[in-house]
Structure 1
């Protein structure tokens, strides 16, 4: 058997990556993802240090790193990060506590779905930021207002997506459970909820990412702490290095939480990944 030329064997992973629906290895996935960031930072460095963009409008990577060090060591940015994470978790957990039982009920019982679905669908299209003036009047500019912005932005999305997931249960499993003597309650607790659990977990993972966009909007108005507050202050000072680092911090925290959520889902619902 003739050996495969080295240049052809090296190009094989690239060919697989460009083949429609062809799986790639975990190592190739990490390398490709890392390559994008390397290219992005290289272009960013070239445009800023090469004089193509004014530092007033876009700081260079070295400048951003210097500003990041100042934020972390002198300006108490760690506390701002902690406050933002707390607000996201509080609003998201509150939204999930309301949306999960309501979404399951809507997916399982068509009468409940007919009653709530028009209102939930209507509210789903309302931007959470539009409620900020009302929430400031109702709850002031403290923590409650910011948590409620995240709650409003998340609860209707979770409710409708959970309802769709639960309502998409396989009919043959439901009929089989009835045949084996299960009642209405047993159908919900032993068929619908277990079958929809992986989809519900994936819904929570996706909406958690959206919650981060709501908290920054909430912190831009009437806030004295948080990542959004720091970004607003940096804008007034035209400090684009701090603004960029704040945005990168949000992305990193969101990415880490997403990876943790995905790993937890894979561990809890490993059976759903079987072919």
Structure 2
């Protein structure tokens, strides 16, 4: 009985997750059929699906997807590896936070596409340049979530730990780190979204393969169908990775009160 209920719940959750996309496709079909927009400017879902299949079987779509995933994951991991300790440092020490906060917000506001000329000068036009742009975008998105989460942890927990005789290191490892795990995972999700949003800009740097490069090449020939395929692939992959992180979060922080979800 419990298994049947669990299966029913999963099926219901899946249906609710898919339903908005079905509505979006239906709306897309209605707008295309209505003639409000020229068919030359708005391909039908079926035409986009056919283009997707053609690129999948003949056009190297899997290679483009693989290259983009590789770049995003590389930039994201490097960004998180640096953002987590720096976020801890800024959140733990208020004087450092006061000094660093304006700098972090300044660089966070700079669009990665504006840095492409400098990236080319310093890193060339190889894979390192693309990873550097994604790293830049991921790092500043993640570090803000990290130190904001650290700074909002109630000092009551620290005072209680000190009352019980805990050292600063024990407070950090046994109080602050567990309390910050949810913020780490949130930072990972935010940085992932920003990395995918920056992908097309990163692949402006002489990329021959990748979904961003595919979109740019298609735009040069006004191939709207291929552009739609590239955009949908980016969104779909980003969504699947985000769902995976959310499931990981639910497992890692199941001890926390999740009633707010």
Give the TM-score taking structure 1 as reference length.
0.86
Where 2:207 maps in the other structure, the secondary structure is: coil
Question: Is the 2:76–2:134 Cα contact (8 Å) retained in structure 1?
Answer: yes
Question: Is the 2:75–2:135 Cα contact (8 Å) retained in structure 1?
Answer: yes
Where 1:272 maps in the other structure, the secondary structure is: coil
Shift of 1:50: 4.2
Shift of 1:29: 5.3
Rg comparison, structure with higher value: 1
Question: Is the 2:31–2:37 Cα contact (8 Å) retained in structure 1?
Answer: yes
CA distance in 1, matches of 2:252, 2:119: 37
Where 2:153 maps in the other structure, the secondary structure is: coil
CA distance in 2, matches of 1:36, 1:268: 28
Shift of 1:114: 2.6
CA deviations 1:72-117 (Å, max 9, x no partner) are 1111111010000000000010011111001001111112223322
Question: Is the 1:56–1:238 Cα contact (8 Å) retained in structure 2?
Answer: no
Shift of 1:168: 1.4
CA distance in 2, matches of 1:239, 1:101: 44
Give the TM-score taking structure 2 as reference length.
0.90
Query: What pairs with 1:54-73 in structure 2 (closer than 5 Å)?
Result: 54-73=38-57
Question: Is the 1:107–1:166 Cα contact (8 Å) retained in structure 2?
Answer: yes
1:217 aligns with 2:201: yes
- The more displaced of 42-51 and 86-95 is 42-51
1:151 to 112, 135, 145: 135
Q: CA RMSD in A?
A: 1.7
1:253 to 225, 231, 237: 237
1:269 to 246, 253, 256: 253
Where 1:181 maps in the other structure, the secondary structure is: coil
Distance 1:197 1:49, change over 3 A: same
Query: What pairs with 1:40-59 in structure 2 (closer than 5 Å)?
Result: 40-59=24-43
Question: Is the 2:79–2:139 Cα contact (8 Å) retained in structure 1?
Answer: yes
Shift of 1:31: 3.7
Where 1:42 maps in the other structure, the secondary structure is: helix
State the match for 2:213 in structure 1: 229
Shift of 1:231: 0.7
